[in-house]
Amino acid sequence: MGINVADATLEPAKGEEPHVSEEVVKAKGVGPIRGFFRELARSTSGLIGFIIVVLLVAMTIFAPLLRGNLKPTTDYWAPFSAAHPLGTSGQGIDTLAMVVNGGKTVLLVGFGAAALTVLIAVVIGSLAAYFRGWFDALMLQVADLFMTIPQIVLLAVMGSLFRFDSPFWLAVIVGALSWPVLMRSIRAQVLTLKEREFVEAARLLDLGTLRIVFVEIVPNMASFILINFIIAVTNAIYAMVGLYLLGLAPLAGVNWGIMVQDGWTNGAMFNPDALPYILAPVAMIVLLQLGLILLTRSLEEILNPRLRDR
């Protein structure tokens, strides 16, 4: 274990300062990783959420090893059996294998779109609030413009016009459209934070504008930003699944959205043997969303140093 200072990069070189190291270890107690889990364990729902999300991500990463056979067979809409625990699809593909493999696009687009949304919102929102003036006015206008665009309708129109041929562009478009709401709330928070005396103190020490905004001010909203990141993930997943359901996103490959769409258009809901084919992806989406939402509960406590030590 290294030396457990709060800002681990500031620890003095080991060996040169044995005295300091000992003192610091005593002062703090646990390391950042162990501290994270200790805090996580404190809230049961948060821990459950964390476990669900980790399991789903792990399942997606190791999907080819777990159940990699996605070859079509002639066994269409087979009922559940030992060979096919969830039956087969209309093409005779093992449903369980599709469910296990179908999370990749959903997770990539969800997290990618959310990362883009949060990045745009944080950078524009905090700089607009800090500088005010013409930049703020312009960005507010742009945000208002984006907010008036009904997202799902625009996605539907764009989807029918361009046929997004990769999940990457889906993530970019979902991300580029959903930043204005978060940008406005970040701007509002920075407006109050920048009047705090510690910001004035940083200005008196001439620490530099970018440093003041992104090192002194923005981390104060870390829990808010992370929670909004996760909410953005859930929103992006819903937007994407909605597009798939409407058949406006590329229907190539295997993912939960395509499964729902496929099941719906091919009459799986009228075939009792095909029921797992439509319910399993829905259950996975619900489970993922539930895990993400539960996880947000614990993050507040983990990220706020004031709550951390209680």
Return the number of the residue (1 or 13) whose C-beta is nearest another protein: 13
Return the number of the residue (104 or 194) whose C-beta is nearest another protein: 194
6 lines the binding site for another protein (CB under 8 A): yes
15 lines the binding site for another protein (CB under 8 A): no
Cβ of 37: how many Cβ atoms within 10 Å? 13
Return the number of the residue (156 or 222) whose C-beta is nearest another protein: 222
Site for another protein in 219-278 (CB under 8 A): 219-220, 222
Which one among 23, 55, 145, 150 touches another protein, defined by CB under 8 A? 23
3-class SS letters over the chain = CCCCCCCHHHCCCCCCCHHHHHHHHHHHCCCHHHHHHHHHHHCHHHHHHHHHHHHHHHHHHCHHHHHCCCCCCCCCCCCCCCCCCCCECCCCCEHHHHHHHCHHHHHHHHHHHHHHHHHHHHHHHHHHHHHCHHHHHHHHHHHHHHHHCCHHHHHHHHHHHHCCCCHHHHHHHHHHHCHHHHHHHHHHHHHHHCCCHHHHHHHHCCCCHHHHHHHHHHHHHHHHHHHHHHHHHHHHHHHHHHHHHCCCCCCCCCCHHHHHHHHHHCCHHHCHHHHHHHHHHHHHHHHHHHHHHHHHHHHHHHHCHHHHCC
- What's the closest the beta carbon of residue 134 comes to another protein, in angstroms? 21
Which one among 72, 208, 253, 267 touches another protein, defined by CB under 8 A? 208
Q: Which stretch binds another protein (CB under 8 A): 46-54, 64-72, 207-215, 277-285?
A: 207-215
Which one among 1, 15, 16, 153 touches another protein, defined by CB under 8 A? 16
- What's the closest the beta carbon of residue 226 comes to another protein, in angstroms? 13
216 lines the binding site for another protein (CB under 8 A): yes
- What's the closest the beta carbon of residue 33 comes to another protein, in angstroms? 17
- The whole-angstrom separation of Cα 138 and Cα 122 is 16
309 lines the binding site for another protein (CB under 8 A): yes
Which one among 1, 9, 15, 270 touches another protein, defined by CB under 8 A? 9
Which one among 1, 65, 204, 252 touches another protein, defined by CB under 8 A? 204
Which one among 69, 211, 264, 286 touches another protein, defined by CB under 8 A? 211
Residues that bind another protein (CB under 8 A): 4-7, 9-10, 12-13, 16, 19-20, 23-24, 27-28, 196-198, 200-202, 204-208, 211, 215-216, 219-220, 222, 305-306, 309
